[in-house]
């Protein structure tokens, strides 16, 4: 559930960003040119790493605290068979 929600969120953000870049390319690329022209690092560049770290933290917490077994191992255990070692 959590991974699916995060996947949809990331996909939606990327689609919206692409739509904005295609709809108003002058403004989108003017911002990038202004960032590269400046010698000081703009604060806007800190936003993506913060978002990435927060999404990663949520993903890890979902994996650690809300884990559900799935796949062939679960199927085999349910039917009393031994799970083979991965090749």
Per-residue pLDDT of the chain (87 residues; tens, 9 = 90+): 778 888 899 999 999 989 988 898 888 788 778 878 878 877 777 899 999 999 999 988 888 887 766 655 565 566 665 655 554
Structural domain includes residue 83: no
Structural domain includes residue 12: yes
Structural domain includes residue 25: yes
Instruction: Give the Å distances, CA to CA, from 82 to 69, 74, 77.
Output: 16, 10, 7
Range of the domain at 56: 2-78
Q: Whole-angstrom Cα distance, residue 16 to residue 25? A: 13
Q: Whole-angstrom Cα distance, residue 63 to residue 4? A: 12
Structural domain includes residue 85: no
Domain count, the chain: 1
Structural domain includes residue 84: no
Residues whose CB falls within 8 Å of the CB of residue 58, separated by 6 or more in sequence, listed in order: 2, 6
């Amino acid at each position: 559930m959590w991974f699916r929600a995060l996947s949809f969120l990331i996909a939606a953000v990327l689609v919206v960003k692409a739509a904005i870049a295609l709809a108003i390319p002058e403004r989108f690329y003017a911002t990038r040119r202004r960032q590269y022209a400046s010698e000081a690092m703009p604060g806007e560049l800190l936003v993506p790493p913060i978002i990435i770290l927060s999404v990663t933290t949520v993903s890890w917490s979902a994996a650690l605290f809300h884990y559900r077994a799935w796949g062939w191992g679960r199927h085999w255990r349910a039917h009393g068979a031994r799970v083979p070692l991965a090749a």
